[in-house]
């Protein structure tokens, strides 16, 4: 998925494991700005096992690792 296709607040699945866990986009971090020390853009996500979980882990993913939920 391209970085410009990601919308804050939407829920995505993972390309490698499309039937396990969810990632809700919280923030897009541009290269070498703020918390992102990488040379590429990353997405800060709330990673949960079930869609309606009340809390999850904050994790960072490349946009290419995420896919839309309906795919």
CATH number at residue 33: 2.30.30
Q: Per the confidence metrics, is the pTM higher than 0.75?
A: yes
Mean pLDDT of the residues in the chain? 93
For residue 69, the model assigns a pLDDT of 82
For residue 24, the model assigns a pLDDT of 96
Domain that includes residue 13, residue range? 3-68
Q: Which residues contact 70 (CB under 8 A, 6 or more apart)?
A: none
pLDDT beyond 60 at 30: yes
Query: SS3 string of 22-69?
Result: EEEEEEEECCCCCCCCCCCCEEEEEEECCCCCCCCEEEEECHHHEEEC
Mean pLDDT of 15-35: 93
The domain tally of the chain equals 1
For residue 70, the model assigns a pLDDT of 77
pLDDT beyond 60 at 59: yes
């Amino acid at each position: 998925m391209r970085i410009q296709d990601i919308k804050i607040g939407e829920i995505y699945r993972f390309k490698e494991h499309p039937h396990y866990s969810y990632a809700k986009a919280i923030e897009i971090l541009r290269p070498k700005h703020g918390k992102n020390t990488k040379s590429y853009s990353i997405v800060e996500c709330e990673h949960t096992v079930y869609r309606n979980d009340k809390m999850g882990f904050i994790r960072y993913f490349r946009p290419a690792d995420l896919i839309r939920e309906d795919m």
